[in-house]
Amino acid sequence: MIDMNGIATAIGVPCTVSGVMQEHLQLWETLYCNQAAWVNQRVRSLQIPAVVSRELKRLTLTEFDLTAADSRLQEILQRFLPKLRQKLDYGIASGGLLMKPCYAAGGIFVDLVPQGRYLPIQYTDDQCTAIACTEYAVMEKNCYTRIEIHTYENGSHTVENRCFRSPMVGVLGTPCSLLEVPQWASLLESITFPAEQPLFAVFQMPDTNNIDLDCPLGVSAFSDAVGFIRDADEQWERILWELESSERAIDASEDLFRFHPGTNQPILPKGRERMYHCLEKTGTGNTIFNTFSPEVRDTSYFNALNQILRRIESAAGLSYGTLSEVSDVEKTAEEIKSSKQRSFVRVSDIQGNLQAALEQLLYGFQYYRDYYANRHTKPAEVSCTFGDGVLEDTDKEFQRRLQMVQARVLKPELLLSWYFGCEETEALQMLPEQQDAGGLFDGGAF
């Protein structure tokens, strides 16, 4: 989490992120890192925020494919996509992700900066057109901060670099020259590119910001589930305590134990020391041997946890069974369908925003490539697909369509066209010239 107010003051712009929003950005990052304030030696984290974010990432990218007709651009994409698959869950958890391409001697690379670690400066028609992000370097006794400012306005994209020096980490300090830091010495203080669009892209979660309605930033995938996440962590601690406190124990008088001659301590079975409690012999001379074995109330405790997990699934837009146990809940077919539909809509919205951001990013890729190669090419043809595996099981759907072909109510080429994602004319070329009786499309597969 960066000091947004300090950065805004240093570069002379108003801070667009309120104090309340900054607190929530810090909270989401803390929860994602499993460092919630309520986690302690007794209360353990179930790591639900990370699980929710990674599950939404998995559903979003399950059948994701991004290809470009331009071979050089495709090479850049192949380097970028693994990084996107790695960092997208962080963006989902924080509410957004800045995708900032940059040109270096080795080619074009992308910095992926989660929300809360960059400062949005300006928005035009709900599109972010100016941002500031930071980079740090420690040399000898000084900490250097480089603020990189991107501003798109009136057909021009300007990149500025400002450097600050401070003897303390986390404090901007005073302005200084970029030349003081060797790795920044080759950077220009300012450069302007004539461009039709911003040369960076911002992916945001699709939900309205109900934390601060005037703030342009997105909200975390689990923003509405924070209270339930705490309930789940605390309920898990109760379950562990119930199991621990109900462990069997044996209270026995000291005459039933053998004692170590050196320490005069009772010799207990190895690995079962906790089970036995040695008591002094009573004055009546009676030997004591009591077994403590209470009934474990785990069923009601787990049922309560399961209900909390279902609340989290509902608040995060996930289908029942992602976190909870659906076998313990009687549900109609309509309820199951509605639950899956909720997850489908949620993931579809995320995919839509991600596709728009990737298309914007690809413009930046191509612009930088052409600019530094001193040439101009037409916009590259790009294919971005996500598939429909979120709502449908592809194998089941294939079997269903195959049965329709065998029943002669669907053309074989339409099945192949759907399965391979090609045109009907291409699917026709895949078909054998003559179908043998009893073949795959003639009902003979079973």
pLDDT digits (tens, 9 = 90+) for 81-102: 999 999 999 999 999 999 999 8
Residues 245-296 have pLDDT tens digits of 776 666 677 666 777 777 777 777 776 666 676 766 665 556 666 766 667 7
- Average pLDDT score over the chain: 84
Confidence tier at 67 by pLDDT (50, 70, 90): confident
The predicted-structure confidence for 372-418, as pLDDT tens digits, reads as follows: 888 888 887 788 888 765 555 567 778 888 889 888 889 888 888 87
What per-residue confidence (pLDDT) applies to 445? 47
Q: What stretch of H or E contains 164?
A: strand 156-166
Backbone φ and ψ of 129, nearest 5°: -120, 0
Q: Are 66 and 86 in contact (CB under 8 A)?
A: no
pLDDT attached to residue 329: 46
| Tokens matching residue 262 | 């050196």
Interatomic CA distance for residues 341 and 390, integer angstroms: 9
Per-residue pLDDT, 92:
96
Q: What is the pLDDT of residue 436?
A: 53
Asked whether the whole model's pTM tops 0.75, one would answer yes
Which H or E element spans position 123?
strand 118-124
Angstrom distance (rounded) from CA 131 to CA 15? 11
Determine the Cα–Cα distance for residues 35 and 260; give it in Å rounded to an integer. 45
Sign of CA dihedral 260, 261, 263, 265: positive
pLDDT at residue 277, rounded to an integer? 67
Q: What is the model's pLDDT at position 446?
A: 43
So what's the pLDDT on residue 201? 94
H helices, E strands: number in the chain: 10, 14
Q: Tell me the residue type at 190.
A: S
Helix/strand/coil for 360:
helix
Q: For residues 152 and 409, give the distance between their C-alpha atoms in angstroms, rounded to a whole number.
A: 55
Task: Name residue 164's beta-bridge partners.
Answer: 145, 175
Residue 148 or residue 445, greater confidence: 148
Half-sphere exposure of 68 (CA within 13 A, CB side): 21
Amino acid 431: pLDDT: 87
Distance of CA 405 to the CA centre of its chain: 40
Strands 201-204 and 249-253: unpaired
